[in-house]
Structure 1
């Protein structure tokens, strides 16, 4: 009885403190930077597998004795896996904690990288495809949570920047694949190449195991206090907080603005993914014997866009919240910059490609950060995983189609026609983005909560004044 009475007294005191403003129901934890750093490392390790074979496609084809389409599959399997597994895995992300999600992603990534140690001899390419599939399934977990990590741990004025750090990790992993594979796989002698492949796979497996330990020991699912008013509403409002994943997904898919954003930004990202996958094929056609240039340019394009521009766009979105305007600008810039890519290829200017490809990457790569954050804004209070997973599934599905469609066009109707089609598609994406209705529901919840606090305080002061009088 005494314990119950003591607990009741504590609750009453806490309520009084809340009423007086002593206790703040919203607070940003300093530990958020530890969580974000670990998440970035997970993204880097997982996405290092995306392009590690396609960026050295000509070498892989000769060593393993496979077709070009088989090498493309080492990258395309990531798109296919997301489209196949996004729904059940997204449900699991909502059902279980963020830590469980991260551990699942890392366990699959570690299993895939360990399996590659058995695929260093010619004739074992099927093992590589199996390993890539395991890592691709793990990537479904990773891709579904950048916005969820950001909104769970970061304040309302820094969520886009936090999400941009997640995208930074994704793009940096792809960038490292562009430079590590050409750097470590250099020999044309089969025996030497076998040893180089083994060393590469071994280093990746060790790094993956280390990051897996970091997740297990230091990663946390959520802070003690919600970091923003919108998160406080989701935690305290029973009706909003208990929206089922299925109902949330249904509401998201009924949102017209959602589909406009998915089509414009998702298709643009699909074109970007296809261009990266086919870069080795395109570059070696115009510049035979310069495979290393393809890796260097891929690295520069991803660093300029996925790393530099994504961080810049994240800060801009947090400061301005002009998601639509930013989206139109980067899509229009993507179309214009790809004109430069076409000209530099057609005129066989190696220096030109070192300028135009990174410029194209600067504009097009940030579509991910805009897409993730814009969709969370316009679908709030639906679970972040609903909009993020549906967006990921859409652009991965489009990536598979565009990769093989552009490769077929490249080999049949001609290179100039392929370049023009890409430019036209990017221009259409910019036009579609202009028709999205600006409806920032999450932003509105944060502002409304702020206005309500001020009104309550004003009413309290007014009441106090009238009693005194």
Structure 2
């Protein structure tokens, strides 16, 4: 683990709400195990969100329903997210992470078992469930996928019970240490303050647009690819995997860049502009008939569009500090679900009335709007100022201790 920073007594400020000296802080290696568990839990949850959309044509034939009906198996995830995010973030605010994670993991496991009776969610369904005219064969393939989900989510739930911690013994940074001693704030008051923050409201909209389009593309991807490449179910799944995999790389690189430069707004605007470029490249290379080119352009789209996700979360944490990050991220995700529903329905309707090109152009135009709104967000880096203030307190305390030792 890293060096332990001792408690300090920073200059008091009535506006800060600090009730006493800051506790020490430390970054624990165990955080990587907790992060891995959370990623695996999120992966199994996202798998169940997207698994039917990527094999839309097969599922529609098996259950004898329309493509739009299958799309709703993805969109219902977004619909229930919006009202449930408020009790979920309230629970995080009151109980910490462990209880909500346990409930969420249990629900994911339960859903997997009931069905028996994101990157992998794109890749595995087309590989397992083959596009066959024999409905019994499709049913057998689906049952294999369902049993596999149930086994994995059950094992993960058991691991989370014994391994996942509510929080580390000491906070990981000066900013988080300050929050530990701050006066408790009511959840409702925090929500009201956030909606009075003009820059945050703009970010909620722009984040919702970007991620909502990602959800729309994810839901409609199978139909978009098959419209140009009939029978390419597995290619559609692999293209979805490329979008997520390159997005993972983009997320990591954007996070490293922010950590080194702290240039939140310019980075967010630039990545948003490049998301527009990626969307246009994907749109205009799709009809060319070369699926290898689509793999490349979808990778560019994923790199920037998915890479935007951590930028939105970090930018929100900066401009809303010291509001709880669970609340701000929850509101961002709620916005993404709302935009995802609207853009999926609208995109699907355009595909039915015209073609996939009309759907993709709508998404590109909407992203341009997102760029414009992002550009007018005020960059008020409150968390960075708090970090600098308390880091200065550490330096003063260290100097005072050395002088005391010499005397």
TM value normalised by structure 1: 0.79
In the other structure, the counterpart of 2:126 is 182
- CA 1:288–1:458: 2 relative to 1, 3 Å: same
Shift in alpha-carbon separation, 1:460–1:336, aligned structure 2, 3 A: same
**Does 1:52 find its partner at 2:51?**
yes
Residue 253 of structure 1: CA displacement? 1.2
Any gaps of 5 or more consecutive residues in structure 2?
1-5, 10-21
Q: Which runs of 5+ in 1 are unaligned?
A: 1-16, 119-173
CA deviations over 1:211-239 (Å, ceiling 9, x no partner): 101110111101111111111111112x2
After TM superposition, list the pairs within 5 Å mapping 1:353-372 onto structure 2: 353-372=294-313
Partner of 2:380: 439
Find the counterpart in structure 2 of residue 213 from structure 1: 158
Deviations 1:125-180 (Å, cap 9, x if unpaired)?
xxxxxxxxxxxxxxxxxxxxxxxxxxxxxxxxxxxxxxxxxxxxxxxxx0101111
The question of whether the paired residues in 2 share the 8 Å contact of 1:327 and 1:430 is answered with: no
Query: Residues of 2 paired with 1:30 and 1:400: CA distance?
Result: 39
Partner of 1:412: 353
Please state how far the C-alpha of 1:456 moved relative to its aligned partner.
4.5
Partner of residue 19, structure 2:
none
Other-structure match for 2:140: 195
CA contact (8 A) 1:93 1:385 kept: yes
Residue matched to 2:80? 81
- Which of these residues, 169, 172, 183, is aligned with residue 227 of structure 1? 172
Q: How far apart are residue 351 of structure 1 and its match?
A: 2.3
Give the aligned partner of residue 266 of structure 1. Answer: 208
| CA drift at 1:421 | 2.6
Distance in 2 between the 1:280 and 1:464 partners?
69
Match of 2:235 among 280, 293, 296: 293
> What is the CA-CA distance between 1:54 and the residue it aligns to?
0.7
- CA contact 2:8–2:24 (8 Å) conserved in 1: no
Aligned length: 389
**Are the equivalent residues in 1 in contact too, given 2:279–2:301 (CA < 8 A)?**
yes
> Is the contact made by 2:213 and 2:363 (CA closer than 8 Å) also made in structure 1?
yes
Instruction: Determine the structure 1 residue equivalent to 2:186.
Output: 244
Judge conservation of contact 2:207–2:332 (CA < 8 Å) in 1. Answer: no
In the TM superposition, what is the alpha-carbon distance from 1:384 to its structure 2 partner?
Answer: 1.2
Deviation at 1:194, TM superposition (A): 2.0
User: Aligned-residue CA RMSD in angstroms?
Assistant: 2.1
- Residue in 2 aligned with 1:377? 318
Q: Following the alignment from structure 2 to structure 1, what is the Cα–Cα distance between the partners of residues 191 and 299?
A: 36
The change in CA–CA distance for 1:357 and 1:460 in structure 2 (over 3 A counts) is closer
Alignment of 1:263-412 (within 5 A): 263-305=205-247, 307-412=248-353
Larger Rg: 1
Q: Deviations over 1:396-451 (max 9, x none)?
A: 00100011011112222554443333222212212221211111111211111111
Moved more, 51-60 or 190-199: 190-199
**Matches of 1:352 and 1:19 in 2, distance apart?**
57
* Separation of aligned partners in 1, 2:189 and 2:222: 43
Q: Tell me if the contact between 2:282 and 2:294 (Cα under 8 Å) persists in the aligned partners.
A: yes
Q: What is the deviation of 1:457?
A: 4.7
